Amino acid sequence: MSENPNHHIKAKIYGNNHLCCKNLGITGKKFYHMIYAFVLYSLPYITWLLILIHERSNIKINFPIIISSILYFFQIYSEMMGGLSDPGILPRQRKDFYYHTNRQSLKYVINGHLCTLNYCYTCSLFRPPKTSQGSLCDNCVERFDHHCLWLGTCIGQRNYKYFYFLTASLNLSSVFQIGYSISHIVLNAKKFKNNENYNKIILWGLVAVSLYDFLFLIFSLVNFLYYIHI
């Protein structure tokens, strides 16, 4: 039986996280950022889709629409699952839990490696290895990676795969739209030289979508290098 990513959610969540959908989902402090992300990756898809529909007489429309639609709906699925899944929040203990030990850390040998478990005074627990306190959500998260501003929640052990799928599908969609737009412009270069307003709208629409996707790819690359650096 597969593990339900939300089965760890408790009836009460501390910190800045919020339960939603009758306790079936959990969001971060700024959950409305998911709406911003949805609008940002929907704009180029809708614009590009309208262009393809207008150009249906000149291209094999089924292929680009099917590919782009699959990637788009995969983006929606990944965003919803990543933004509403428990990232790996550890339940808080009583304030006096372990406090009587008067120790800030414990040392354990795990699989032959000496590990130091630091005490979290906010959650009143010793953090397992690779667990960190999310500064914005104010909860200890297992295998904490970072706080995603687009999903508005922490990225950790239980929702990292959805964040990865979302990032991968967004980049694949951008590369596909840029590549297909450029090839369509090159193949129809003579047509776009005409003075028809319709052709100009299609041309500048493809250029705008390509530029939008290109800037997104640059932004993704900069963020990737930033996280690798830190």
State the catalytic residues.
148
Nearest of 99, 101, 83 to residue 38 by alpha carbon: 83
* Nearest one of 60, 40, 29 to 215, comparing CA atoms: 40
Query: In angstroms, rounded to a whole number, what is the distance separating the alpha carbons of residues 208 and 151?
Result: 25
Contact 188, 210 (CB under 8 A): no
Is 153 exposed, middle or buried (CB count within 10 Å of its CB: 0-12, 13-18, 19+)? buried
Contacts of residue 106, defined as CB under 8 A and 6 or more positions apart, other chains included, come to 116, 117, 119, 126
Token reading at 222: 């900069």
Task: Report the alpha-carbon angle 50-51-56, nearest 5.
Answer: 100
Q: Which residue has the tokens 């700024």?
A: 30
Q: Are 209 and 47 in contact (CB under 8 A)?
A: yes
Cα–Cα distance measured from residue 34 to residue 206, given in angstroms and rounded to the nearest whole number: 26
